[in-house]
Amino acid sequence: MLSRPRDFATLQSAGTIRSHPLLQARFMRTDLETTRFGLSTGRKLGGAVVRNRVRRRLREALRVMAPSFQPGWDVLIIARPGLVEADHDALVGALRRILRRGGVLGGPEETDSRAT
């Protein structure tokens, strides 16, 4: 997981953005052998209990998908308010779709050449 503020700032300034109604993600290619994730849950989602629940749900979905990740990515996932009420299938579907569009999940990096 990403934890240093400098890593978050780098992703915010230089990352490629992919959006979905339930969440937004920023992607950046790295030279590391692993893929690292950061989660952002703002106060628009609700109180601390709600934000922590959203983070737990996202971490669990990422844990299940982990074997399919391509190495060498930093990803910042930003939760949107609709994610609070979304069921598990909607959350996993949105996450899978956005990670596939970003090039982190699945096949070769064909989306990396389109990134701006």
Domain ranges of the chain: 5-102
Any idea which architecture 5-102 has in CATH?
Answer: 2-Layer Sandwich (3.30)
| CA torsion angle 42 46 51 53 (round to 10) | -150
* pLDDT computed for residue 112 by the predictor: 42
Q: How far apart, in whole angstroms, are the C-alpha atoms of residue 30 and residue 73?
A: 5
Nearest Cα neighbor of 12 from 94, 74, 91 is 74
- The answer on pLDDT for 111 being more than 60 is no
- The answer on pLDDT for 115 being more than 80 is no
Predicted confidence (pLDDT) per residue in 40-61, tens digit? 999 999 999 999 999 999 999 9
Predicted confidence (pLDDT) per residue in 49-107, tens digit? 999 999 999 999 999 999 999 999 999 999 999 999 999 999 999 999 999 999 998 75
β partners of residue 24: 19, 78
* pLDDT computed for residue 7 by the predictor: 86
Q: Is 51 helix (H, G, I), strand (E, B) or coil?
A: helix
